[in-house]
Amino acid sequence: MRTSSIADRVRQIRGSGIREFFDIAQRMEGAISLGVGEPDFVTPWSIREACIFSLEKGYTSYTSNWGLPELREAISDKIYKESGVYYEPEGEILITTGVSEAFDLALRAIVNPDDEVIIHEPTYVSYKPCTLFAGGTSVSIDTEVGDEFKLRAEKIEEKITEKTKAVVLNYPNNPTGATMRKKDLEEIADVVNEHDLIVISDEVYGKLTYEGEPTCFSSLNGMKERTILLNGFSKAYAMTGWRLGYATGNKEIIEAMMKIHQYIMLCAPITAQMAAVEALRCDDEVERMVSEYNRRRRLMVEGLTEIGLSCFEPKGAFYTFPSIANTGLTSEEFAKRLLFEEKVVVIPGSVFGDAGEGFIRCSYAVSQYEIEEALDRMSRFLEKHCVV
Amino acid sequence: MKEERGEEEILKVLEENARISDREIARMLGIEVNEVKEIISKLERAGVIRKYKAVVNHEKAGIETVQALIDVKVSPERNTGYDSVAERISRFPEVKSVRLVSGEYDLSVLVSGKTMHEVAYFVAEKIAPLEQVRNTVTHFLLKTYKENGEIYEEEEKGERLAVTL
């Protein structure tokens, strides 16, 4: 008998002790959760209604591997309108089962064994494991609160080797809520050009930008050819459970991603695609949700600061990432004690990489009442634990 | 995102929750409490904000009320058009709303009373006999599904996971 029937690659992914804590958090009665990573809005009714209508009409079949033509056209129009970049609906756009699938396809399409993929930390939890599954090696770059968790071009340059294949960008960022200015992205674009790299830009939180307009990375000089742009419907349209995303990029790469997609997924569910066509007509609903998030964001940031957690002002997504350094606790200890003593769920920053240690992620995709109640409980907790 | 004007955003917040404190509004908008107070009192003085009221589900409260929508056809008057008769009807406390509408009739009037008899009697006694009123049609309200943007029977909402990364 072999020692384990599980492949080495999968065994490399650590099953961390934090999972147990999350299980307790999921089940705890009376807990207020700031650990949520999805909108608290239900999908707008007009989108749900369009989906129901499509079922009544009998749209229950497969679609083209690429996704519904009308959805690809609507996406092409939307990107062009918002950022001035034109993607051809035929061949430059692929509809996927969530951004998650698109991210996996992107890596598998471009990564050769031992190619290096640069990932900024704190980072969304999937990027590093997916890199590993694709046979690549992830190279981390720490971003810092003092620099508002921005990724700097010079830091990328320091990490480039001849094996470097791609840079992953995720702004607005999960978990920090950080955003990037156009000027800083342009500097990254220069490095990408110079070293012949690919950028995988996950812009799923793009619509949730509270100051100024988000910059689409592929709109920068020369970047359309070098960018795999990922986006989806989960966050902006409150459609997490529908599992629908898309990738856009140059024909060669999208074609390669499509090769994998057709064998592992065949196509994204038609029901979700039908709903997404309607979603793209719902800008008013999105605006309504974004302005509500913005109000909650201010409540949360002010509140956290007031109870004694220093918190840089996030300008995107729906997360705050306050420092808990003055408690002297690790982020995991902090989260556990806060749950058991005051029944508030927050996510320890360490889950998002070493650079996240000393921070917690608090989502404000919860009601105003829950924000205030959670802040009260946290304030009580901090009075007991603030040692510094 | 699109910037909203302070006034517009304050109205949006108050229309959702009229009991929210000035301090909370200030935080949500990222402006000073004094500024919020000033804007609100300006809106009150200008008559933009008319009143702060609760949206009550009377049925749930066990308060028996009967309401009816009355279609009223009127002959407009030479100088005042529909205004004088509409204002006249508006003064009755039984009348909850009066609107001039396009279509087959002219005024849409919402009347509230304790019993069907009371409402019918009111229409027959106070509205129908008015000189300018040519005709009335009474529709008793049977059930309210949505009022002032609030759905009475809230739809079921799926449970979110407490933790998603």
Output the average pLDDT for chain B: 91
Look at residue A295 in the predicted model and tell me its pLDDT: 95
Look at residue B59 in the predicted model and tell me its pLDDT: 81
The domains found in chain B, sorted by start residue, are 6-45 (1.10.10), 58-143 (3.30.70.920)
Q: How far is A37 from chain B (nearest CA, A)?
A: 5
Contact residues, chain B, for A368 at CB < 8 Å:
17, 24, 28
> pLDDT above 90 covers what percent of chain A?
92
Q: What is the pLDDT of residues A197-214, one digit of tens each?
A: 999 999 999 999 999 899
Q: Which residue of A has its CA nearest to B155?
A: A42
Q: Is A17 a residue whose pLDDT tops 80?
A: no
ipTM, interface predicted TM-score of the complex: 0.79
pTM greater than the 0.90 cutoff = no
Look at residue B149 in the predicted model and tell me its pLDDT: 83
Of B13, B17, B163, the CB nearest to A22: B163
A45-281 CATH, one of 1.10.3470.10, 1.10.3810.10, 3.40.50.1470, 3.40.640.10:
3.40.640.10
Q: What is the pLDDT of residues A223-250, one digit of tens each?
A: 999 999 999 999 999 999 999 999 999 9
Look at residue B152 in the predicted model and tell me its pLDDT: 83
Write the DSSP string, A51-111. Answer: HHHHHHTT--S---TT--HHHHHHHHHHHHHHHS----TTTSEEEESHHHHHHHHHHHHHP
Q: Which residue of B has its CA nearest to A209?
A: B1
Residues in chain A: 388
Identical topology for domains A8-43+284-385 and A45-281: no
Contact residues, chain B, for A26 at CB < 8 Å:
161-163
**Which of B28, B25, B27 is CA-nearest to residue B43?**
B25
Residue A18 at interface with chain B, using a CB cutoff of 8 Å: no
Give the position of tokens 């056809």. Answer: B73
Q: Please enumerate in sequence order all residues whose Cβ is within 8 A of that of B127, keeping only pairs 6 or more positions apart, or say none.
A: B70, B72, B89, B109, B133, B136
* The two three-digit tokens of residue A231, written as one number: 């986006």
Q: What is the pLDDT of residues B40-85, one digit of tens each?
A: 999 999 999 999 988 888 888 888 889 999 999 999 888 888 999 9
Q: Is A53 a residue whose pLDDT tops 70?
A: yes
Q: Is A387 a residue whose pLDDT tops 70?
A: no
Output the average pLDDT for chain A: 95
Residue B149 at interface with chain A, using a CB cutoff of 8 Å: no
Q: Where are the domains of chain A?
A: 8-43+284-385, 45-281
What is the CATH superfamily name and number for domain A8-43+284-385? Answer: Aspartate Aminotransferase, domain 1 (3.90.1150.10)
Q: How far is A343 from chain B (nearest CA, A)?
A: 12
Q: Which residue of A has its CA nearest to B9?
A: A291
Contact residues, chain B, for A299 at CB < 8 Å:
24, 27-28
Q: Is A118 exposed, middle or buried (0-12, 13-18, 19+ CB in 10 A)?
A: buried
Q: Is B45 exposed, middle or buried (0-12, 13-18, 19+ CB in 10 A)?
A: exposed
Residues in chain B: 165
Strands (E), chain A: 32-33, 93-96, 116-121, 137-142, 164-169, 198-202, 227-232, 245-248, 319-320, 344-345, 347-348, 360-363
